[in-house]
Every structure is written in C-alpha cells, then in structure tokens.
Amino acid sequence: MSLQKTYVESAMNAGDEILKPVLTQGLGEAIAVIDESGVTSYTELDTLANRIGNALRAEGVRPEERVLFLLEDSADLVAAYLGVMRIGAVAITYNRKAVEKDLVFVINESRAGVLFIEEDFIEPFKQLQPLITHTVKLIVRKGESQQFSTLLDLVADSPSTPCSIIMSPDDMAFWIYTSGTTGKPKAAVHLHHDIIVSDLHLRENLKVKPGEKILCTSKLFFAYPLAHGFFAGLRCGATLILFDGWPTPERTGELVKLHQPDLFFSVPTFYRKLLDLGIAKHASFSAIRCCVSAGEQLPGPLYDEWLAVTGKRIYQGIGTTETLILFIVNTPDAHKPGATGRVVPWAEVRLTSQDGEPIHEADTPGVAWLRMPSVCDRYWNRQDMTRHAFNGVWYRTGDIFSFDKEGWWYHQGRADHMLKISGQWVSPVEIECCALSLSDVAEAAVVEVSGKAGQTDIVLFVEPKQVVNDPLLLIEKVQITLRKELAHFKCPKAIRLIDEVPKTATGKIQKFKLQQMLEETEPAA
C-alpha cells in the first residue's frame, strides 16, 4: 500500500472503524477480548460500546470533550474507549499508578469532565479533588459506591442502538500522553483518520489472521500496545489478552502458558528479564508465532539468546507516541539482526544534519523526519514544542538514524542525547551496545559530564547481570572491550557499576537520574 492511498478525505468515526472490518465480515461471535472477567465477543464489545456512548451523551458529554480513563486493562476499558470516540468525544488513557502531581496535571490540562476509575481510586481521588480546577464526574468501573456512579449504573437503562456521529477525519479522536524521561507529561493529539493505518503492520507484515491471540506486556495507556494491540489487533479480528495489575515476568509467564498467544509484543528490558529468570525456557514461549520488540534498541546478544532459548526471532521496530505505530520494522519476510529495520511502505523518512541539511549518503547519521498518516496533529497546549517538531506534513522525530546501501536503518539514539567529543558527534547507543556485547553486562547507559576547560567527557554506567565479587575486574573487562572496538575519543572517561539502571515504566533509561547521581558524587577514576 502506497503512502498516498492511506489518507482519508471522507467523513468517518474512529470508534466505528476499529470494529468495522470484523463485523462486516460476519465475525461478530469471535472473541475480541480475554480479560480477568472472562471472554467478550466482538458483538458484545460493540453493544457495550454503544450503551456507554449513549449513556455518556445523555450525561451531557459533547464532541471533542475529554473523557479520561484510569482503569485496569479490560473489555470495559476497550468498550468505553470506543464509545467515547463514537460520540465524538476524546478518549484518554493514563497511568492510574502515576504520581499525584502528574495525575492532577493531566486531569486539569485535559479538563476531562468524566473520569472512569477503579474502586480503589475513590479515596485517592478525594485527596486530589481540592487540587482539580473543574467539576469532574466520576464513574467507578466495578464495585459499589454510594457517592459516585458505577459503570452498571451508567448503562442500566442505556440503549444499545448505534451511537456514532459522523466526524471529520481531522477531528480529535484520542490523546496519548507521552511517558518521556523528563519534564511534565504532554499530550499528542491524534485524529480520527489516524486509525486507518494502525493495522497495516500487523496485517501486511506480520500476517495476522482472525482468531489469533495477541499479548502485549505494556499497558494500554502506552501508544505501543494501544495501537498494535487494541486498534490493530481488533481491526485484524484478533483476540486481545488483557490483565489486571502491573506486568511482571512471572505473571507474563502464567499468561503465556494459559492463553498461548500467537503474537507477543514487549520491550528489550522485559525480554531480558524473561530470559534471566528462566521463564522464557517454557515450551509455551517457543509456540509463539511472532515476537516483536520496540521502545528501545534491541541489543544483539539479547536477540541471539532469545533465539537460542525459544527458537524464535525478535522482530525489532521503532515508533513513538507521536507516530502511534511503528514506522521502521523488521518482519518475518525481511529481517536483519542489529538493524532497526526498513521503512514501512506507508511512511517516508528523511534525514537531515544537525544544521538541517539533507542527508542522502549511506552510513551517515542524521535526524529523522517522518511523513505518515498516523502522525499526531500537535501537542496540546505546547505551541513552542509543536512548532519545533512539526513542519507541514513532516514530523521531526528527534531520533538519529543512519541507513546502509541495502536500505536497512539503524537507530543511533536521540538527537538531544548525541554527544560532541573532541569535535566529533558520538552516539551513546554505539558505546552502550558495545558494552552490552559482554555476557556479564545486563544494562549500559552513557551520560555526559563537563570536564576540564569546558570539554565534554563520557561516563558509562554498567549494570552487572549478577552479583560481582570483583568490581574492578568487570570494569577492566569493559574497558578492554571498548578500547578494542571503538575509536579512542568514544571511550568513556569513567565506568561506574550500578545495581540497577533507572528506567521509566516503558523501559526507557532515565538518564537525568544518572546525571543527578554524577552531580552528587565525583565520577570514579
């Protein structure tokens, strides 16, 4: 499918488009969701979405008003999300375990008039209520509440008749708040037409068929599972496996054994934990048809070990909250270990230098600009950031890539993380991957420090794979490997061992915390 053919001009509604391909094929009785409560068919999901949508409209929710979900992943969440979009309102999922200041910020910034919560959030909400700047109607998903409405109360007398209204493809449909590694959350504003291409990677590249089961280890408030599990999976007629609570390797192992997913979406950090704990050795992991990784660079040794233990390749790709879906991918038909992948047919990627000059030569790193129909429209209330990141139909990803003569692309890290050492640009990812090639190293992270005369120096944090009896011996081993593989100016000034490299919930390294550690203590010699 070409890039041009994916744009939508006619009126539509994203809440309908997700289920339409399955329902029009007469597959309504197929299982759409497996969650902690049981199974839900496509017809049941469609009916519940209409009942919730009609009920919210009766409560006064109007087009483009925001509805916020602080819920466990469930069929109820999926149906409510669809129902919100169907009546033209804007659906937002957010981490219900987020810190108080971020929760208050998101509720206030979005001005969400309706908030879906779990019963255990009633008391915390009461504590937050004085900080909220507008009136919020609370709907409790399960349980009983004398003070607030429940989901059962909401839909008790609500009809199941279609509730959808026709929207412009360019109307707001849903927001996704970026997880980020620093600063306040910011909302990527996605439009109704963004849904149309959401299933192409699964359908065209991964060959997902109706009835196949999908398990994503990340929760639905992240773009990665929201797009590739919820949106794409349901558009393909697959069954989405959802679960309560935060994902752990042990819980994931149980889910894989119980439900035997055909497709498994996770992040490198989680794949590593499944291997280190021996969970991936179970035969159920070898039965998975397709394993996908995104969120961070997939180290080569991790790819090799997963293949050796499970017999399955991990197909790496990259996407962002802003792009919604992966735009550079490996696939079963075209894969190369170590490469991020190739650009999908429905996207176009260009590289520029740090000064904005176009890059056309292979093996030359540059900042990636992306054109794809699912790219968000803007950041909500962030005009300066929007102007910096968006230029017409082009989105500046902020990621550094290079490509080879065969068309394989390689992620080199973030543009704002690139380091200038001895007058030359250095990618932290190159140094980190070199350290990760050692079997003793579980994680590696490069940060910069100001050295003498204002120059920039590099410090490498290393997380050992197991308890180290002789730290100096491991540091020396890493140093020898780096000096052998890298130019001298790329070798870090110091190497520091750390029990655990700090990360976000999506597995992204929080380098600002490592910077704080360096400010509090002198770097090791």
Residue 419 has φ and ψ, to the nearest 5°, of -115, 140
**8 Å CB contact between 261 and 282:** no
Pair (404, 289) in one structural domain:
yes
Last residue of a domain, one of 416, 443, 464: 416
Chain centre to alpha carbon of residue 373: 18
Q: Do residues 391 and 318 share a domain?
A: yes
Residue 364: what are its φ and ψ, rounded to 5°? -120, 110
Find all residues with CB under 8 Å of 397, minimum gap 6, and list them.
320, 322, 323, 367, 368, 369, 370
**Whether residue 379 is found in the same domain as residue 465:** no
Question: What's the CA gap between 249 and 427, in Å, rounded?
Answer: 31
Q: At what angle do helices 471-485 and 428-436 cross, to 10 degrees?
A: 120
Q: Are 286 and 314 in contact (CB under 8 A)?
A: no
Query: Is 203 inside a domain boundary?
Result: yes
What pLDDT was estimated at residue 9?
A: 60
Q: At which of 416, 442, 462 does a domain end?
A: 416
Q: 3-state secondary structure string, 173-222?
A: EEEEECCCCCCCCCEEEEEHHHHHHCCHHHHHHCCCCCCCEEEECCCCCC
Q: Are residues 240 and 290 in the same domain?
A: yes
Please give the Cα distance from 83 to 91 (Å, whole number): 9
Q: Are residues 376 and 273 in the same domain?
A: yes
User: Are 280 and 309 contacting, i.e. CB atoms less than 8 angstroms apart?
Assistant: yes
The answer as to whether 3 is a domain residue is: no
Q: Which residues of 366-379 are buried (b: 16+ CB within 10 A; e: fewer)?
A: bbbbbbbbbbbbbb
> Residue 139 and residue 152: Cα distance in Å, rounded?
9
Residue whose C-alpha is closest to residue 309's, from 274, 336, 343, 356: 274
Strand partners, 449: 457
Residue 356 and residue 349: Cα distance in Å, rounded? 14
In a domain, 252, yes or no: yes
- For residue 28, being part of any structural domain is answered with no
Q: What integer pLDDT is reported at residue 67 of this predicted model?
A: 98
Domain boundary pick from 167, 191, 215: 191
The pLDDT of residue 524: 44
Span 380-419, pLDDT tens digits: 999 999 999 999 999 999 899 999 999 999 998 777 666 7
* 389, part of any domain: yes
- Model pLDDT, residue 237: 98
The reported pLDDT for the residue numbered 143 is: 79
Query: Has residue 29 been placed in a domain?
Result: no
- Domain span holding position 468: 418-520
Using CA atoms, how far apart are residues 408 and 99, in angstroms rounded to an integer?
A: 40
Residue 452: predicted pLDDT: 54
Residues 183 and 54 in one domain: yes
Hey, what amino acid is at 94?
Y
Cα Rg, the chain, nearest whole Å: 23
Asked if residue 2 is part of any domain, the answer here is no
Residues 171 and 202 in one domain: no
**Do 177 and 257 sit in the same domain of this protein?**
no
CA dihedral 142, 143, 147, 152 (to 10 degrees): 50
Pinpoint the alpha helices (H) of 248-295.
249-259, 268-276, 283-286
CATH number of 429's domain: 3.30.300.30
**Which residues partner with 464 through β-bridges?**
441
Residues 239 and 343 in one domain: yes
How many Å apart are CA 259 and CA 252, to the nearest integer?
A: 10
**List of the chain residues with pLDDT < 50:** 1-2, 4-5, 180-182, 453, 523-525
Answer yes or no: do 141 and 43 share one domain: yes
Pairing of strands 456-464, 441-450: antiparallel
**Alpha carbons 518 and 175: distance in angstroms, whole number:** 36
487 and 470 co-located in one domain: yes
Burial of 396 (0-12, 13-18, 19+ CB in 10 A): middle
What's the CATH number where 184 sits? 3.40.50.12780
Query: Is 484 a domain residue?
Result: yes
CA distance 73 to 77: 6
Which two tokens mark 436?
């990760």
Q: How many distinct structural domains can be found in the chain?
A: 3
Do 143 and 210 fall into the same domain?
no
